[in-house]
Structures are given as C-alpha cells and as structure tokens.
Chain A
Amino acid sequence: MQEETKDQSLGKLRGLAPLNGVVGYVSEQQSDMVQENYDLFLAEYALCPLILVKGAKRPFVIADCGRSADGICFFDTDYAVFKSFDHGLRIYRQKQK
C-alpha cells in the first residue's frame, strides 16, 4: 500500500504551473541507493509526464522528506522554497543570480 500512499501525496504536485520538462528530485534516503531509487521510481510514477532526475541541478527541485524528523532533507543555498505541502513535500526553485 506504500505505492498508493506515495502516489496520492505526490499526486498533489501534478500539474502545478512552473513544473514541466525535467525536474530535480531529492529524497531523504540519499544514503541508501536502493531505497532512493525506489522513491524516485514512485515519484516518477506519480508525477509523469514530468521527467524526474536524481539531484539538484535543475531550476526546480522536488524534495520528498516525509520520513525526516523535521521534514527537511534538502539543503542548498542556491535554492529557496517555492511551495510546501504536507508529508515533508517541498518544491524548491533555484535562486536568480
């Protein structure tokens, strides 16, 4: 049932105006590659036709930090929170230089 829960929580991000094309994806499981991939696959399944790529080298990054104690798992000074959701979900936008 984890797939269903993830599908529903991430599904809220689908169709949000600035998100299109390729988007970065960060989960709190960065130390465990298998689990990190699993999270990425579920996120892609929920958010297609967006293309999600691991890491933060895109103008927009989705941080999926539901299992972190404080709900934060993405730290990058080049990015600012664009929008927050329940279950530790955040969209970050790259700051203008």
Chain B
Amino acid sequence: MIIFDAICVSMPYVAAFAIAYWAFQSPKRGVYLDSLLVVLGLGIGTGMGSCSFFLWRSLHYPTEGLKLGEVLFFFLCTAVFVVLMRHKLSQRIPNGLPAQDGTIVRPASALLCLGFLVVLISALVGFVLLSYNRPHGSSDAYVIWNLHARFLSRGGADWKNYLSPLLLWTHPDYPLLVPATIARFWTYLGTETVLVPGLLGGFFTFATVALLIFSLSFLQLRNQGFLAAIFLLASSPFINLGAYQMADVPIGFFILSTTIILTLKDYGALQNNRLTVLAGITCALAAWTKNEGLLFVLAVVISRITLYLTKRDIRHYFRETLFFSFGFIPIIAVLLFFKIKYSPPNDLMTAQTLSFAVPKLLDISRYVLVGRWFLREITHFGNGVTVVFFVYLVLAGVELDERKIQPLISTGVLLVTMLCGHFFIYIVSPFDLNWHLSSSSQRLLIQLWPTLLFLAFLITRPLFDRESERGARFLST
C-alpha cells in the first residue's frame, strides 16, 4: 500500500520530468542542463499535483479516487510526451551548446566555491532554526496558506467553508498552488505534519538558488552562478520568507523559471517551440501561486511583444504565443475554474471604480510616498545586500554580445513592467497606503530579486578570467 501511495504521489513529478525532458531534448545536454531539468521538473510536478488535487477536491471524490485518477491522468501525460520524444522529425540539433566540459580549477574559483559553500551552510542552518522556532510559519502562512490547506485537507464537503464571506480576512480569493500541494501531501500521508509546509518552503527556497546556479553556469560561467547564488542566499528576507512558508518564494521560483526558459529559447540553445510550451506552463503556475502571477502573465506578454517589435518580427511573436498557450492554457483553465466557480472577488479590485481610482491617480503625494518606499526598500533590502550588489555591478561592468541583447530586452522589460504594475497598484490601493506598503513591498521585491540577479549576472563581465572556466560557456559566435 505504501508503495502504491508513493507511486501515486510521485506521478505528477514523473509527468513533469517527461515534459521537461521533452522540452530539453538534445543530443548533448551536459550536467548543467540536466540539473536544470531536474529542478524544473520538481517545481512543475509540484504545481501539476496541486492542480489535480484541487480538481479532485472540487469534484468531492474519495481519496481512493484521487490516487487512481492521478495515476491514470499523469500516466497518460507521461505516455504522450514519451511518444513525442521518439518523434525524430521534431528533433533539431542545437546551435549553441556549451563547449566540452574541461574546467580548469584556479585558486580564485576554488575560493569562490568555498565561499558559496559557507554561505549555503549558513543559510541552511538559518532556515532550519527559523522553521524549528515557527513550525506553522509566519502569521500570513497560518492565516492564509496553511489555513486554506487545512480546509482542503480536513474539510471533506466543507472544504468550501473558507470561501465564506465570514472569513474574508483569510483572503479566500488567493490561488491554491501552495495550499493544495500541502493538502495533497497531508492526504497521502494521512496526517497534518508541519514538516510538509516546512519542506515545501525549503524546496522552493533552495530550488531557486539551484536554478540560478545551473542556468548561469550553462549560459554564462559557473563562477557567475555561484556569485548570484551567494547574493541570493545572503539576502536574509529571502531565507526568512522561505522558512516562514510564504508563497512569495514559490512565485519567485516560477518567475525565474519562466525567465530562464525564455532566455534559453532566445539563446537558441535548444528546440525553441518546446521551450516555449514549457515557459507557458511555468508562467501559468506563477499565476496559480499568487494573484501577482496575473501581473506577471501581463508582463510576459508585454516583454515578448517589445522584444519582437525591436526585432521587427511580430509574425514570430504570434507563432511563439501559439506554442506558449499549449503549456499555458491547461493550468490557467484550472485557475479560471477556481476564480469563476469558487473565489470571491479580490479586495484590491472590488473597490476600483473610475470615481475611486482617478482622484488617487491624480494625487502627487501618493506617488512621492510610494516612490520613497520603493527606494527605501531597494537600498535597505537584505541589510544592504543590494548596495553591495550595485557596487559589484558598477565595478564589474557590462559585457554584452549579440546573444545577450534579446534576454536583456525581454527580462528587462518584464522586470520594469512588474515594478510599474506594483507601483500603480499601490497608487490606487483602497487601503491605508502606509500600512499596505509596510506589509507587502518587501515581499514583492523578493518575488523579483532572483530574476534580477539572473539578468545581472548574465550580462555583467565575469569576475575571473574566462580562461579559468572554459567548460561552462557557450562557443563564441
């Protein structure tokens, strides 16, 4: 029985690995892309499992039904992608694979690696201590995410109780990736152990670090990956929010995943259309994690349109959108089902009418206040880690080649759109602005911080001589 349960619980992950393997299919992937594939597979599998659990819960089927349903559905998914992988016509030899892995370890590289290990161990110890002290997470975790998970897990037919107007303080309109994942594991385990939300927080925290290392090692240099990871691990709010089981770290993971996949596509590193399908999945999973993910979807659309407009190639944008939607639609359909059938309206949006928003939009003092908060958050973020980061950027300088222009435009526009979106949400906020900013602005920056690090270390000049790390970079064009 335990073996059967283990098979059932791992089925979404098997399907996710099949999809990621299909998207990353290449004769010479190398260790970094293989590792990236594993991390992405785990993240996507978690998201797909949460979708299937929510659908099962909304259909009121018994637990046995969940197990059989998941096995059958994800087995079919896996089978489809295995068949697709065997389709030789769809294979294309990549045009930008890394050179052979002939890394020469120099003292400076070894020192950086050692520094990374020290920071990683410190972050792990910090994470464990914080989790041990607050096993139920921060107040937002047990008022929102873990509470929703308990309703989904315990509720039976009453799981919808949390959507009651009497419980609006628990934000019942929030998407369900985190709660449904926790509830799914609780249901399979038959117990509500606090280990599940804790481990989920740990997974998304350190998987984000892993994404940074493997992607930058493949696209740039391993040292750049380690440096970016050191900056991320040294950002105490990132580790804190992960340990406190907040959904800002998982959404940051999916934002970074989408950015990395689209960058791989823009580099022409792998089969383009397959990566676009995968990007559609991770983008939709960001929206299935938090409402900010909907802004992210809009930002992706704007950034890709901008990119193709600068290339004067809008025809290819529509082609990309088609493949993107293959991955995007199934997940976003689950979100829409939740939003339309169950979710009450969002508290930020219900208040928005023209007569309410226009005076706020014309109030200069609100712009000044929000601008000051943003500046303060950026300069004080992580006890000054951003100051060190900007000093590093200035000292290192930018190294742009033809390949990096597209990711720079796409990711740059994406980050600016996200920041502008958040800025204007604050401007028209129906809440006390000081309270709203103090309770959420840092968390919003944490969602974007891994992606900003990825972009920065992709375009900055490497810290060490390229000759010291020949193996991890692309063949020069």
**Chain B neighbourhood of A45, CB < 8 A:** 136, 142-143, 146-147, 150
With both beta carbons as reference points, the residue of chain A lying nearest to B194 in the complex is identified as: A4
With both beta carbons as reference points, the residue of chain A lying nearest to B147 in the complex is identified as: A45
Q: Output the least CB separation between B441 and chain A (Å).
A: 21
In contact, B151 and A48 (Cβ under 8 angstroms): yes
**Chain B neighbourhood of A44, CB < 8 A:** 147, 167, 170
In contact, A1 and B133 (Cβ under 8 angstroms): yes
In contact, A49 and B170 (Cβ under 8 angstroms): no
Which residue in B136, B151, B166, B170 is a CB contact (below 8 Å) of A22?
Answer: B166
In contact, B136 and A48 (Cβ under 8 angstroms): no
Does residue A42 face the partner (Cβ distance < 8 Å to B)?
A: yes
Does residue B374 face the partner (Cβ distance < 8 Å to A)?
A: no
Does residue A19 face the partner (Cβ distance < 8 Å to B)?
A: no
**Chain A neighbourhood of B352, CB < 8 A:** none
Within 8 A of B (CB), among A37-74: 37-38, 41-42, 44-45, 48-51, 53
Against A, the Cβ 8 Å flags (1 = close, 0 = not) of B163-187 are: 0101101100000000000000000
Does residue A86 face the partner (Cβ distance < 8 Å to B)?
A: no
A42-B162 Cα distance, complex, nearest whole Å? 14
Given contacts A3-B134, A42-B142, contact A48 B150 (CB under 8 A): yes
**Chain A neighbourhood of B155, CB < 8 A:** 48-49
With both beta carbons as reference points, the residue of chain A lying nearest to B146 in the complex is identified as: A45
**Chain A neighbourhood of B166, CB < 8 A:** 22, 51, 53
Does residue A36 face the partner (Cβ distance < 8 Å to B)?
A: no
Does residue B401 face the partner (Cβ distance < 8 Å to A)?
A: no
| Number of interface residues, chain A, beta carbon within 8 A | 16
In contact, B136 and A4 (Cβ under 8 angstroms): yes
Against A, the Cβ 8 Å flags (1 = close, 0 = not) of B138-160 are: 01001100110011001110110
A37-B143 Cα distance, complex, nearest whole Å? 11
Provide the main secondary structure of the chain B interface. Answer: helix
**Chain A neighbourhood of B136, CB < 8 A:** 3-4, 7, 45
The number of residue pairs between A and B whose CB atoms lie closer than 8 Å in the complex comes to: 49
In contact, B154 and A41 (Cβ under 8 angstroms): no
In contact, A49 and B142 (Cβ under 8 angstroms): no
In contact, B139 and A48 (Cβ under 8 angstroms): no
Does residue B135 face the partner (Cβ distance < 8 Å to A)?
A: yes
In contact, A3 and B151 (Cβ under 8 angstroms): no
With both beta carbons as reference points, the residue of chain B lying nearest to A15 in the complex is identified as: B154
Q: Output the least CB separation between B435 and chain A (Å).
A: 12
Q: Output the least CB separation between B201 and chain A (Å).
A: 15
In contact, A51 and B161 (Cβ under 8 angstroms): yes
A14-B166 Cα distance, complex, nearest whole Å? 19
Given contacts A4-B135, A51-B164, contact A41 B142 (CB under 8 A): yes
With both beta carbons as reference points, the residue of chain A lying nearest to B155 in the complex is identified as: A49
With both beta carbons as reference points, the residue of chain B lying nearest to A22 in the complex is identified as: B166
Given contacts A3-B134, A48-B161, contact A41 B139 (CB under 8 A): yes
In contact, B147 and A49 (Cβ under 8 angstroms): no
A49-B169 Cα distance, complex, nearest whole Å? 15
Q: Output the least CB separation between A82 and chain B (Å).
A: 21
**Chain B neighbourhood of A7, CB < 8 A:** 136
**Chain A neighbourhood of B162, CB < 8 A:** 48-49
With both beta carbons as reference points, the residue of chain B lying nearest to A54 in the complex is identified as: B166
**Chain A neighbourhood of B158, CB < 8 A:** 49
Q: Output the least CB separation between A13 and chain B (Å).
A: 14
A3-B147 Cα distance, complex, nearest whole Å? 13
A87-B135 Cα distance, complex, nearest whole Å? 22
Most chain-B Cβ atoms within 10 A of its Cβ — which of A22, A45, A49, A53?
A49
Within 8 A of A (CB), among B116-135: 133-135
Within 8 A of A (CB), among B177-204: none
Which A-B residue pairs are the 3 nearest by beta carbons?
A49-B158, A49-B155, A3-B136
Known: A45-B136, A48-B162. 16 other contacts (CB 8 A): A1-B134, A3-B135, A4-B136, A7-B136, A37-B169, A38-B139, A44-B167, A45-B142, A45-B150, A48-B161, A49-B150, A49-B154, A49-B162, A51-B161, A51-B164, A53-B166
Residues of A in contact with B (beta carbons under 8 Å apart): 1, 3-4, 7, 22, 37-38, 41-42, 44-45, 48-51, 53
A-B pairs with beta carbons under 8 Å apart, 9 shown? A41-B142, A42-B142, A44-B147, A45-B142, A45-B143, A45-B150, A48-B162, A49-B158, A51-B166
